[in-house]
Amino acid sequence: MILLVLLASILIVTVTIYQYDEQTKDYNVQRFARKEKATRNNIDIELRRKTTYPVTTQNLSKIFQDRIYEIANIHNLTISMYDMNGKLLKSSIPYSFEEIDETPLPKNTVSELANNSDYRISKMRTVRGISYQSSYTYINDPRFKRIGILELKIAQDNGEQKKELREFMTRLLAVYILMFVAAIALAYFLSSYITRSIQTISSKIKETTLNKRNEKITLNAASSEINSLVDAYNNMIDQLEDSAAKLAQSEREQAWREMAKQVAHEIKNPLTPMRLTVQSFLRKFDPSDPKIKEKIAEYSETLIQQIDVMSSIASAFSDFAKMPTQRKENLDVIDIVKHALDIFNEGFIHYYPQEDELHAHLDKTQLIRIITNLVKNATQAMREEETHPRIEVKVASKNESVVITVTDNGKGISEENKKLIFEPKFTTKTSGMGLGLPMIKNIIEAYNGSITFSSTLGVGTVFTVTLPKT
């Protein structure tokens, strides 16, 4: 709107100036034509009056000796008379005021006048910044014989027209400044009205997520286009909720399928040696064997070991499936981490507490599980050919959180495995069920904490755990 008003203002000003210029030109032409006609009439009347001089070319200067000044003064123009060859005979310019230019008419002007069908030519020229309009016609005697050339010249003074134009443009500028201000105000209120609804829609779109129920948009007053956009958004919310519910159901079913497959796989591992042990015992069982008691004890011990393995598998999956229960108590994290590291006999594990004491409300058992799991993974990540293995455990305080870092110089984690590191049943080791990191991730997130890592293949890995103090 502002641009349209500005363009309209420029166009109207341009057209106005052009129109004034055209009107001024037309006015000057018409005014000069009226003066020319009246002057010729006066000259014709003067030539028809009875004088003591015959009406000839040589007598023109004598006939209009004084009369030429009166006629020029009446019509406010300059009159010059030439003979048929263009030589100046008489001019209304007084000798006492201005030097008369006695230069004859150019031959091309004389020739152009002779060849013109109307026997009249008009010319415009500018001298010292002043525009002059001239006309050339023939002077005829009473018998219509050509006896000379008449030049009528007038200075075009457009000062009055320019003054009127300036006054008009001043008024027009004031009007358009007012219109421009009004357009700005109107554009501001219109844009505010339009963008208010758009901002509401934008904020709702930014808040749209998959993990919570999204509110629909309700607008009391909006344009039809905005209402169409709101309807499209509300329909999208309905479809999004249906898709989210289906996706969640599919993910739960897929998770249980994967869990069932993993449980079945882990249980089959101890069942195979148990079956082989029972079959071997049946083939070799001899009641009369003097060592029968020793063989039965050995057989029982093998079965008990496999049963314990199955029991540990069941406990591991049970612990992973349920949300860890928290028993928060005021702990000295520095001391608890130290005791958790005492179970490791490796000499390349180094502990660097950053403070003497660091208290936080955490579950002691779960904190020990986090430390032991991370350090155990770090020791298993050491390459066999590593000549200088090193694991560093640091504990520090940052604002209202406890930060624990476990750094190793092991083989690192490849790029394709980084995105799977916290996935259940994912493991790069030959033993284990791949539930350690997912389990401690659940524990940490239950505290509203976070666990992150950075790793470079062949250089090492750094795990960072952040837990709130309260």
Fold of 2-162: Beta-Lactamase (3.30.450)
What are phi and psi for residue 136, nearest 5 degrees?
-125, 125
Rounded to whole angstroms, what are the CA distances from 288 to 292, 316, 390?
A: 7, 43, 58
Domain spans in the chain, listed from the N-terminal domain onward: 2-162, 224-321, 329-468
Round to whole Å and give the CA distance between 203 and 197: 10
- Strand 401-408 versus strand 450-456 pairing type: unpaired
What tokens does 455 get?
A: 């790793």
461-464 contacts, C-beta under 8 A, 24 or more apart = 461/378, 461/381, 461/407, 461/408, 461/410, 461/412, 461/413, 462/405, 462/406, 462/407, 463/374, 463/378, 463/405, 463/406, 463/407, 464/403, 464/404, 464/405
> What's the DSSP call for residue 344?
-
Is the CB of residue 59 less than 8 Å from the CB of residue 50? no
Round to whole Å and give the CA distance between 123 and 114: 15
| Per-residue pLDDT at 401 | 93
Domains 2-162 and 329-468 share a fold: no
> What's the DSSP call for residue 105?
P
Is this model's pTM higher than 0.85 or not?
no
CATH class in words for 329-468: alpha beta
Encode burial over 217-231: b for 16+ CB neighbours within 10 A, e otherwise: beeeebeeebeebbe
pLDDT in tens, the chain (470 residues): 778 878 888 898 889 888 888 888 888 888 889 999 999 999 988 888 877 788 888 888 888 888 899 999 998 889 999 999 989 998 888 654 445 556 788 888 889 988 988 888 988 887 776 788 899 999 998 888 999 999 999 887 777 777 888 888 888 888 888 888 888 888 888 887 777 777 777 777 777 776 667 777 777 666 677 777 778 888 888 887 778 778 777 776 776 676 667 666 667 666 766 777 777 777 777 777 777 788 788 778 777 777 776 776 676 666 655 555 667 889 999 999 998 888 888 889 999 999 989 999 998 888 988 998 899 888 887 765 567 889 999 999 998 999 999 999 888 888 888 887 877 654 544 444 456 788 888 888 888 899 999 998 888 899 999 999 98
| Per-residue pLDDT at 345 | 81
